[in-house]
Amino acid sequence: MVAVRVLNLVTTPRSRFFRQQVASLGERGVEETTLAVPGHHEYGSENDGRNALDYVRFLPAVLRYAHREFDLVHANYGLTAPHAVLQSTVPRLGGLPVVVSLWGSDLAGRYGTVSRLACRFADEVVVMSPAMATDLDQQCHVVPHGVDLELFAPEPAADARDRLGWRADASHVLFPYPEGRAVKDYPRARRVVDLAQRRTDDDLVLHSVQGVAHEDMPTYYNAADALLLTSRREGSPNAVKEALACELPVVATDVGDVRERLADVSACRVSDVDTELADGLNDAVTVGAAPDAREAAREVSTDRCTDRLLDVYRAVVDDA
């Protein structure tokens, strides 16, 4: 088969899961060019850091590239979807078929209306979870970001704790986000750990992670006794999938596809009630490992998710 040629539109090319997606598709013969919205954006920040003019300035660049030899335009994140859709209406400048991927906050957040409207004119839409598919309420494909099972794998907790300098005589709870990211709700995580602490004689230590290279994160998952996720909203949180790949129990609020991911995994808990989260946390740190979690992570491995996205590309190209 002739290689699929893709024009990727992104808000930031620094997203590690976007980079992983490009690399994995490249291994399967997909050729791509990436265009990013101009202006400054602090990766990982809740605030986009750009204004409406930056997004207006992005359209001419998309139109300049869309007339080149591409098979489709892939809008990664809803705020780039209008640009992809607009080029498809100008045959002499582009007219390329459009795939839109929604990542979560672009559907549930403040710009959800923009994403929903643009998706109505896309050839194919990809979302991260069944809950997002239900919320979008149109035909779409559920293809979450995949987890690298070679990078994220179990190792002895003692070895990982030695590298991080974590105490051997405590139970460690991992909150894999900066404390300042409001949507992740660190204050609630702190409350849940404090509540759990009052119900046990164990010493619970909550670790918030910031500025750690992605390739170093497996050490944190393996050093911890449980992952605590208290997000207010998510699409398909990658931290949950990475924790499962490392056989780490997860205690989480009922967001995105978390309930589906944890449905058949031991030592995990999903709830929107703080007391239940605290009880689940105490149970999880007592168990210390979820040996069936890695098998659950295989369903969302990088290889499987890449193959599913490539199937979407091929369907679009075949229908063009």
CATH class of the 157-298 domain in this structure: alpha beta
Predicted TM-score of the model (pTM): 0.85
Contact (Cβ atoms closer than 8 angstroms) between residue 142 and residue 125: no
In sequence order, the β-bridge partners of residue 126 are: 101, 141
Structure-block tokens of residue 5 = 């040629």
The 10s digit of each residue's pLDDT in 5-43 is 999 999 988 888 899 999 999 999 999 999 999 976 554
- The pLDDT tens digits for 168-184 are 999 999 999 999 999 99
pLDDT at 314 exceeding the cut of 90: yes
Cross-strand partners of 171: 204
Hey, do 5-146+301-319 and 157-298 end up sharing a CATH topology, with the first three levels equal? yes
Length of the chain (residues): 320
Question: How confident is the model at residue 256, as a pLDDT?
Answer: 87
How many Å apart are CA 311 and CA 297, to the nearest integer?
A: 21
Q: Per-residue pLDDT tens for 209-244?
A: 988 999 999 999 999 999 999 999 888 899 999 999
User: Which of 2.40.50.140, 3.20.10.10, 3.40.50.2000, 3.20.20.70 is the CATH number of 5-146+301-319?
Assistant: 3.40.50.2000
Question: What amino acid occupies position 167?
Answer: R
Paired residues of 98 in beta bridges = 73
In whole angstroms, what separates CA 236 from the centre of its chain?
Answer: 5
Q: Could you state, in order of their start, the residue ranges of all structural domains in the chain?
A: 5-146+301-319, 157-298
